[in-house]
Structure 1
Amino acid sequence: MENRFEIKGEEILDGEVKAFGNSAHVTVPKRWRGADVKVVRISEPAEEGDNE
């Protein structure tokens, strides 16, 4: 079942989560530095090892 969220904001960015050490990250524009952000997962994660 899909959940629906309503978020008010300034910009939206489509991206892909990439491996980063023992974690993962999403790259955003440098001009967003210091801003508050929210991250919403919109698909199931790939099986571990698929993106390495």
Structure 2
Amino acid sequence: MANRFEIDGEEVLDGEVKPFGNSAHVTVPKRWRGADVKVVRTSEPTEQDEE
């Protein structure tokens, strides 16, 4: 069963986490620069780290 979170916010963006060097990133609109954001994972990762 998933946890449920309630977050007050201004806008919601659905996206996919993509590889970025040794990490990963989510692209958000340029107009969000300087804003505080929260990222919530809503599914299990489909790729595993290669070590």
Fold-level similarity (TM above 0.5)? yes
Percent identity reads 84
Higher RCO (CA 8 Å, separation ≥ 6 residues): 1
Q: 1:48 and 1:38 mapped to 2: Cα distance?
A: 23
User: What is the CA–CA distance in structure 2 between the aligned matches of 1:47 and 1:9, rounded to whole Å?
Assistant: 29
Q: Is there any run of 5+ residues in structure 1 with no aligned partner, and where? A: none
Matched residue, 2:36: 36
- Counterpart of 1:26? 26
Report SS of the residue matched to 2:31. helix
- Give the structure-2-normalised TM-score: 0.91
2:14 aligned residue: 14
Gaps of 5+ in 2: none
Give every structure 1 segment of 4 or more consecutive aligned residues whose post-TM-superposition deviation is greater than 6 Å.
none
Q: TM-score, normalising length from structure 1? A: 0.89
What is the total number of aligned residue pairs between the two structures? 49
* Amino acid aligned to 1:16: E
Q: CA RMSD in A?
A: 1.1
Deviation at 1:47, TM superposition (A): 2.8
